[in-house]
Chains A and B, each alone.
Chain A
Amino acid sequence: MNLKDKTRVGLLVLLVIAILAIGLVGSGCVRGLAPIGWSGGTVSSGTLYVGSNEGRLVAINLADESQKPKTSDQLIPITQPGLFGCSPTGGGGCGAGTQRVAIYGTPVVAGDLVYIAGYNGKIYAYNISNLAVRWVYPREGNLQPFVSGLVEADGKLFIGCSDSRVYALDSTTGDKLWEFATGEKIWGTPAIDGDTLYIGSFDKKLYALNVADGKKKWEFVTEGAIISTPLVNSGTIYIGSFDRNLYAVNAIDGKLKWKFMGGNWFWAEPAVFNDIIYAGSLDGSVYVLKADSGEKIKSFDLKSAVSSQPVIVDSSVIFATRQGVIYSIATGSQDIKQIADIKTDVDGPLTAYEGIVYIHTQQLELQRINAASGTLYSPVSLKG
């Protein structure tokens, strides 16, 4: 083979490699193709629990910052790595979460246990003292991924699963008490009010189930899939749907009270204060609505989508945009002000404790902001 032939063969090989490389890089490194997680935080007895993007439960002592955060063992993924060490469904490129179990739901604390659900289709109960696993559901095998968060009430845990079912477990033992099948997968976290559990499904329906046995009380049909968490307030359920509406539904009989259309999905659970609803939309606006009629009082254009659940600190509602700009809305005057810009993506729910807002970012950090002054404190690392 002479030099020219070698060059030609080399060029052919280069062409093939270029096609492969462009295909992989172009398709793999797209934001949002790999599950990463956006767990919020829960504070109990001065300790904040959060599911990190490394697939661990992390416990941070808020009272004593000198203590190093405690972490659980890493959750075990169910899929083997595919091409170049990445999950096949996560693209061939560089998804950060491809070999880690994403955690979307906020941890729940009850008694001496803390619970999380993983994208690997398992629910874990940890001892609060040492973050050792007490029980796992299912004990063998895995269910479909959990995106929904857990809710605890009267010794029972409730969660929706991507396999379209709602599960009720004994919170002490992890035994299944009942399950209820919907028509499509469930990503939304349930809400409980009294003896009724409310949960939305991709099948476009909001369900009201009996907490005791999982029997359906009623269902309410929207025109789009539902993945947001219902907000229950004074006998009314407020929930966003993929048809761009925020619905107010009577909690007793599931009848529509009113609906309000935004420019995009109401992804996150809204906040309510003094019978006023504060609903962030992916259209980049926060809508301020009267809880009883849905009448718009005001709207704020935040210039970036709002996907994280807001928190109420004192008499202010704190919102974060996906681009990491933090706003505070005064509930009295309905004025808005930007209090901080953490310059990182924010998708998960905000957590507030003693005037500090905690934001779990995709950089494996917990950002801390003083809600009143907007002062940014040094972030807490969530690395295990």
Chain B
Amino acid sequence: MNIWELIIQQPVINILIVMSHYLADNFGLAIIALTVIVNLILLPLTMSQIRSSKKMQDLQPRLVDLQKKYAKDKQKLAQEQMKLYKESGVKPAGCALTMIIQMPVWIALYQAIMLALAVAPEGLLNLSKYLYPWQVVYSVLPLNPDFLVMNLAQPNLILALLVGVTMWLQQKMSMTSQTDPKQAQQANMMLWMMPILFAYMALNFTSGLSLYWVTSSVFRIILQYRVTGWGGLRKQAPTPASDSDKKYLKFQAAQEKKSKEDTGTDIVINDNDSSKKGTRIIKTDKYKFQPDKDRERHRKK
């Protein structure tokens, strides 16, 4: 037995079998329980990544400022960005790291599911070498693949769709609003690409693995909700103003203030103008120019 089998595959297989026994011989429940345990073990890492994403979102205005400030010096920009990340405790590679750490668990789980469910006779034969010498392990094998109306040893379309949907939801919730359109485009690409990829993989592998992915995504959706609320699923609120935006807002406020002072000024209509064909002539007092009220009316429109 190699190291992979000894420290990953063998424990996962035996834990799954034992849990299945204590969960009414239900392998589906065992997979869900194992997923929760795996996610609880990875909780510090996941939380760190979620918080990091949130911080990243908060940093966006400052990052935009840096981009503008060092637009011509890419090296300096990179240095300043890294400095900002470091000061704020943001780990840009956190998401990928969490995913990479989970990959051995997916693979071990997939192997465990295929072996424990005796999909192929060779699998059951190979399973024997991974079993701990516990009577409970031997007496429950091979496991029952039925869960709800699914056969966990076969691919399942509904579960594959659920994999895609829950993964999209989770990613959408954790998405940081990008002020840079190029980054926004890339984030959007990943938002769709990963769920589609995983749903496609789920269609080609056992639904037991899909059950793991769905449970894992639901777990992370709950975590994400507790930290950031609905996050990217909310209707996008206006992004906090950057320094340049603030300057513009100041300018706009000044203009509005100035306009208010002109309230009541009559609109002078020249006869020359009114004689033009198709021009409507306004003569009553109620159409006096009232800048603040007119602006409000215009906004409502």
On A, residues with C-beta under 8 Å from B are: 1, 4-5, 8-9, 12, 15-16, 19-20, 22-24, 26-27, 30-36, 38, 82-83, 88-92, 102, 104, 147, 187, 202, 223-225, 227, 242-244, 263-265, 267, 282, 305, 307, 347
Contacts and interface: CB of A to CB of B under 8 A. Distances in A.
A4 B127 CA distance: 48
A82 B131 contact: no
B111 A30 contact: yes
The binding surface of chain B is classed by DSSP as helix
Interface residues of B, number: 44
A107 B177 CA distance: 66
Nearest to A307: B125
A35 B103 contact: no
Nearest to B204: A83
Contacts of A223: 139
24 contacts: A8-B186, A19-B103, A22-B103, A23-B106, A26-B103, A26-B107, A27-B106, A27-B114, A32-B120, A33-B111, A33-B114, A35-B121, A36-B122, A38-B121, A82-B204, A89-B154, A89-B155, A92-B201, A202-B142, A223-B139, A242-B141, A263-B133, A264-B131, A347-B125
- In this complex, the member of A4, A5, A89 whose beta carbon has the largest number of chain B beta carbons within 10 angstroms is A89
Contacts of A282: 125, 128-129
A104 B135 CA distance: 28
A23 B125 contact: no
Contacts of A31: 122, 126
Nearest to A282: B128
A83 B204 CA distance: 6
Contacts of B128: 264-265, 267, 282, 305
Contacts of A38: 121-122
B123 A33 contact: yes
Contacts of B129: 282, 305
Interface string B185-202: 010011001100100010
B154 A88 contact: yes
A90 B153 CA distance: 10
Interface in B221-261: none
A187 B120 CA distance: 11
Contact of A33 (B74, B120, B193): B120
A88 B204 contact: yes
Given A32-B123, A88-B203, A89-B206, 8 more contacts: A9-B186, A16-B194, A32-B125, A34-B122, A187-B121, A225-B142, A263-B133, A347-B125
